[in-house]
């Protein structure tokens, strides 16, 4: 891993946790997802045009098919994540979404491919599982329902993250699609896909625009920028090296939820996020 890739991924992690904090603060309904996707599409359109003119990337049927697959995975990711924020805390949903993916990947490899995880990998899985248990324990009984839904959506988001990370690696490394074109295409497809919902619930779009336009603009910029930086680093380094480093966002996100949103379980959730982050690193080493 180069120094540049290391720095890019750390900056990406910070930006990622920041826009998730803004999404949680805005409420995260589907109309809001459409709004920030539309803004991202408009904001990054000039840069996308410049890259298409200057770099002239090949965008034939294989590349467009790969982009369509990754766009579908990103749509699932955004919907699961924002639905999770509607019912659960940032310091609960975000660490699970970012930390559970590696565990699910190992379990899938064992079940589907017959692989045997190393001792390090098992230790990493146990640490991540312990972090999740700490996250979901100690809450008041009236919050159990929202915690359960938050965990479910966090796990679904983790599945989507694992899937699109592997797919996007192929898009930028094998098909040589520029990272900004990938993120812009994803935003465009998401805007078009969610447009019927936005039209049917235009009152929610107007509400989000009136109340949360700053968050929508910020997410539209930071979300794409965060992932572009990660994809640039990913194009020259291995997924196994960079993905764990990006999980430092787990701790940042938990801290923002506890300190900025005054979510319950303060120290316990930060400790849990730290345990999960260490688990992801151990799992990667294994």
Using CA atoms, how far apart are residues 10 and 248, in angstroms rounded to an integer?
8
Both tokens assigned to 3? 């120094």
Domain ranges of the chain: 3-285
Burial class (CB in 10 A: 0-12, 13-18, 19+), 209: middle
Q: Confirm if 11 and 244 have CB atoms less than 8 A apart.
A: no
Q: Confirm if 269 and 90 have CB atoms less than 8 A apart.
A: no
Q: How far is CA 279 from CA 32, 82, 138, 198, 250, in A?
A: 33, 25, 21, 39, 11
SS3 208: helix
Note the pLDDT of residue 139: 58
Sign of CA dihedral 159, 161, 167, 169: negative
Using CA atoms, how far apart are residues 248 and 252, in angstroms rounded to an integer?
7
Q: Using the structure block, give the residue that is written with the tokens 């459409």.
A: 34
Using CA atoms, how far apart are residues 218 and 235, in angstroms rounded to an integer?
26
The helix or strand, by DSSP H or E, that contains position 197, with its residue range, turns out to be: helix 179-200
Q: Confirm if 189 and 120 have CB atoms less than 8 A apart.
A: no
pLDDT in tens, the chain (286 residues): 577 888 888 899 899 999 999 999 988 789 999 999 999 999 999 999 999 999 999 999 999 999 999 999 999 999 999 999 988 888 889 888 888 877 776 676 677 657 677 888 788 888 888 888 887 776 554 456 678 888 899 999 999 988 887 788 888 888 989 989 999 999 999 999 999 999 999 999 999 999 999 999 999 999 989 988 887 887 666 666 676 677 788 888 888 888 888 887 778 888 888 888 888 778 766 6
Q: Using the structure block, give the residue that is written with the tokens 């680093």.
A: 233
Using CA atoms, how far apart are residues 229 and 224, in angstroms rounded to an integer?
9
| Phi-psi group of 264: left, alpha or beta (phi > 0 → left; psi -120 to 50 → alpha; rest → beta) | beta
Q: How far is CA 33 from CA 52, 194, 211, 254, in A?
A: 26, 8, 14, 22
Both tokens assigned to 74? 């990103």
Using a cut of 0.85, tell me whether the model's pTM lies above it: no
Q: What is the DSSP letter of 89?
A: -
Sign of CA dihedral 82, 85, 90, 95: negative
Q: Confirm if 263 and 114 have CB atoms less than 8 A apart.
A: no
């Amino acid at each position: 891993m180069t120094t540049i890739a290391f720095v890019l991924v750390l900056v990406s992690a910070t930006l990622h946790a920041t826009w998730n904090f803004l999404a949680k603060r805005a409420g995260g309904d589907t109309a809001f997802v459409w709004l920030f996707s539309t803004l991202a599409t408009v904001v990054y359109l000039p840069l996308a045009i410049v890259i298409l003119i200057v770099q002239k990337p090949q965008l034939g049927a294989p590349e467009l098919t790969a982009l369509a697959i990754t766009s579908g995975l990103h749509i699932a990711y955004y919907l699961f994540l924002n639905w999770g924020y509607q019912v659960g805390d940032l310091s609960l949903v975000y660490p699970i979404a970012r930390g559970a993916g590696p565990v699910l990947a190992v379990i899938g490899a064992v079940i589907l491919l017959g692989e045997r995880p190393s001792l390090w990998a098992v230790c990493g899985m146990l640490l991540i599982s312990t972090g999740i248990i700490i996250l979901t324990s100690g809450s008041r009984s009236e919050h159990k329902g929202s915690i359960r839904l938050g965990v479910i959506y966090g796990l679904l988001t983790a599945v989507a993250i694992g899937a699109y990370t592997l797919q996007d690696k192929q898009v930028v490394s094998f098909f040589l699609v520029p990272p900004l074109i990938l993120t812009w295409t994803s935003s465009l497809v998401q805007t078009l896909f969610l447009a019927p919902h936005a039209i049917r619930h235009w009152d929610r779009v107007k509400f989000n625009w009136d109340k949360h336009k700053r968050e929508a603009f910020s997410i539209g910029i930071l979300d794409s920028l965060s992932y572009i930086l990660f994809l640039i680093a990913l194009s020259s380094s291995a997924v196994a090296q960079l993905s764990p480093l990006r999980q430092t966002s787990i701790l940042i996100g938990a801290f923002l939820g506890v300190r900025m949103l005054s979510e319950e379980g303060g120290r316990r959730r930060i400790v849990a996020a730290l345990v999960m982050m260490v688990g992801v690193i151990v799992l990667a080493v294994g």
